[in-house]
Amino acid sequence: MNIVLLGPPGAGKGTQAKLLREYFGLWHISTGDLLRKSIADGTKLGSQAKEFIEKGDLVPDNLVVELLKERLAQPGIEKGFILDGFPRNDAQAGILDAMLKKQAIVIDYVLYLEADEPIIIQRLSGRRVCKNCQQNYHVTNMPSQKDGICDTCSGLLYQRPDDREEAIKNRLLVYLRDTKGLVDYYKKQGKLLKVDANFDAPIVFDGLKKVLL
Ligand SMILES: [Zn+2]
């Protein structure tokens, strides 16, 4: 079972990917993680990606696809995977399909996690990060023991600027705009499955299992 995971920021993609990985034994392939790892390992693709990032440019699609290709060529891939972070638009989906076709790999399902704006704002605007060790907290869902202080290192907790309400609304608009073509692309292929992600993670995961099984 090969899955592409889509959904706006705050829909809970990371948590659901983890649950999917554990339940179905799938690989979780996050292109963000792949990029960071290739840069840290100093691979050929990693050093190419680093040049773009250092210039403040986006890493080109073909480079991300090359990284994915390497990852998908590793043994164990037949168990299936969850792809997270790519594609982000219909052009990238086309490039991905062309690459997968050569490797005789098919995307079976595209899961789209849908959550309402007030829920997303509640989730993201409550997020706090430790200035010192980067640990994540949430003011209601996962508070620190002492208000504003990190449990692990006593560092100060702060709200990232893009987790403020206005910034969240803007991130949502950008996401919806950029993924409109992508959603249509997978809808046409008959692979798109929408999942209501307005609930707590275990309930969302139950809904997700229901559409997959
Ligand atoms: Zn800390």
Task: Set out the domains of the chain in order of their start, with CATH numbers.
Answer: 3-115+167-212 (3.40.50.300)
- pLDDT tens for each residue of 16-66: 999 999 999 999 999 989 999 999 999 999 999 999 989 988 899 999 999
- pLDDT tens for each residue of 132-148: 999 999 999 899 999 99
Distance 103 CA to ligand 1 centre (A): 43
The reported pLDDT for the residue numbered 213 is 85
Please tell me the distance from the alpha carbon of residue 110 to that of residue 107, in angstroms, as a whole number: 8
Please tell me the distance from the alpha carbon of residue 195 to that of residue 168, in angstroms, as a whole number: 21
- Dig out the tokens for 167 from the structure: 């910034």
152 is in an annotated binding site: no
Distance 55 CA to ligand 1 centre (A): 30
* Strand ranges (E), the chain: 3-6, 27-30, 81-84, 109-114, 127-130, 136-138, 157-158, 192-196
The reported pLDDT for the residue numbered 42 is 95
- Dig out the tokens for 100 from the structure: 């997968």
Paired with 27 in beta bridges are: 81
* Residues forming the active site: 13, 88, 127, 160, 171
- Dig out the tokens for 12 from the structure: 């809970």
DSSP state of 142: B
CB 150 within 8 A of CB 56: no
- pLDDT tens for each residue of 147-195: 999 999 999 999 999 899 999 999 999 999 999 999 999 999 999 999 9
Distance 121 CA to ligand 1 centre (A): 24
The reported pLDDT for the residue numbered 78 is 87
pTM, full prediction:
0.86
Of 76, 64, 65, 61, the C-alpha closest to 101 is 65
- Dig out the tokens for 161 from the structure: 């600027």
